[in-house]
Amino acid sequence: MTAFNHRFDPTSLREYDIRGIVGETLKPEDAFAIGRCFGSIVSRGQNGEKGGTKVAVGYDGRLSSPELEAQLVAGLRACGLEVLRIGCGPTPMLYFASYALKADGAIMVTGSHNPPNYNGFKMMLGKKPFFGPQIQQIGRMAAEGDVVPAAVGTDRQVDVSEDYITRMMQDWDGGDRALKVVWDPGNGSGAEITKRMVARLPGTHYVINGTIDGTFPAHHPDPTVAKNLEQIIAEVAKNGADLGIAFDGDADRIGVVDNEGHILFGDQLLIVLARDVLKSKPGGTIIADVKASQVLFDEVAKAGGTPLMWKTGHSLIKSKMAETGSPLAGEMSGHIFFADKWYGFDDAPYSAIRLLGIVARMEGKLSEVRAALPQVINTPELRFDCPDTRKFDVVAEVKARLAAEGAKVQDVDGVRVLTEDGWWLLRASNTQAVLVARAEASSEAGLERLKAGIAKQLQASGLAAPDFTGENAGH
């Protein structure tokens, strides 16, 4: 029998997952190799522990996902493992399945919020995210043929969808108040679950784009982009709804609009959720990524919590939650992680149920809560091209210059510079050849000074300043 050997396109091995363009940087043989290598890691066991025997696998609604899932399963079976195939659904349902089925590992075939021609793989080993050096390890194992001897495993279909919905509904705490809610799963893999979930909730629910369609005919499945929320905002207005809830392509990220059609950004949503969680978890550590508003950290402290700023990236946040015992965390990108009653993974349908419970118990409207938050002016997340070979060096150069100037800097992830006007951030993306910048101030004049600070530092490193003409987000 021919020895196993495979080389991945190096651009597909990312920080948090494996992802690429189908037919170009990601092919069916890559899926088989991922199964063969990840399966070998599971089978061998880690840190002296006995090897595992079961891996759960799910896939999203992309047109390429069924073929990639089949090849992935074949690779896992070739390691002698039992593969539990949960079928098409949201990524968090796969995470749930790994707990419910006591799997030793889990892999989701998903392109997340990328365009339709992308796909990828998100992984869990045991109860922990599989990322960073572990993903590079997959690449090395494949190139060296470092896998367990070929064996004959098994696979079976397991439908966990009913258990998943039932378990989420256990944490519904909104009573019988009849809210009006518009839902937009964006034709993503959370669409069917959304329709079944809302059938169990009190109130009136309008589901748009509720058919799984890997071409995403209505709009791109990324609820952090305001343009993708225009349809749900219009539906909220038309139906006089209390709020609207949108999911990304694999339903691990959430977008929210209030009854007035205003977007609640990730950090604003986290404030609403944190205030509620801290009632039962006083003093709890609430984690947010480095892109979040200072208003969030201040409001968490005001509500009796311990705010913690951490690195951007869902795997990094999950690991920090486990380390600190945090009951709740979130990112600007809409990943929300509950660990007070839930499992600590990012789950948009579950986060929606918890948010609706809070809104149902409110005396006023969600728009009133949003409007009462301290008002600041900030830029959207500005992303601009910078070669992978240069992006981290640029951040290091900026950091060194700021240190020489005596600037006040938080360097948990890139550089977040604090001034009398507010703060600005520059960090390297872990997943793309881009730098990310953001700024927040209490006045327009202050924001202009912060933007000038970013431009000055970039020019000192030989880069053009980002385009600041994007509309400033007031929140």
CA atoms within 13 A on the CB side of 65: 30
Return the closest-CA partner of residue 62 out of 10, 20, 32: 20
Query: Which amino acid is residue 406, in one-letter code?
Result: G
Question: Which tokens is 125 given?
Answer: 């080993």
Residue 23: helix, strand or coil by DSSP? coil
Query: Which amino acid is residue 285, in one-letter code?
Result: T
Longest dimension (CA), the chain: 70
- Alpha-carbon gap, residue 89 to 272, rounded angstroms: 28
Q: How far apart are the first and last CA of the chain?
A: 62
Burial classification of residue 425, based on how many CB atoms lie within 10 Å of its CB (0-12 exposed, 13-18 middle, 19 or more buried): buried
Q: Which of 112, 161, 293, 351 is catalytic?
A: 112
Question: Which tokens is 126 given?
Answer: 């045991």
How do strand 180-184 and strand 204-207 relate by DSSP bridges? parallel
Please give the C-alpha separations between residue 443 and each of 264, 420, 456, in angstroms, as whole numbers.
Answer: 20, 11, 20
Which residue has tokens 């609706």? 356
Please give the C-alpha separations between residue 382 and each of 373, 378, 422, 435, 446, in angstroms, as whole numbers.
Answer: 23, 11, 17, 8, 18
77 Rama class: left (phi>0) / alpha (psi -120 to 50) / beta: alpha
- 119 strand-pairing partners: 20
- Alpha-carbon gap, residue 435 to 454, rounded angstroms: 12
- Alpha-carbon gap, residue 468 to 385, rounded angstroms: 14
Burial classification of residue 279, based on how many CB atoms lie within 10 Å of its CB (0-12 exposed, 13-18 middle, 19 or more buried): exposed
CA atoms within 13 A on the CB side of 79: 30
Return the closest-CA partner of residue 303 out of 279, 280, 325: 279
- Alpha-carbon gap, residue 360 to 355, rounded angstroms: 9
Query: Which amino acid is residue 162, in one-letter code?
Result: E
Neighbours of 118 (CB within 10 A): 20
Known catalytic residue at 112: yes
Question: Which tokens is 278 given?
Answer: 């801290």
For the annotated catalytic residues, the residue numbers are 112
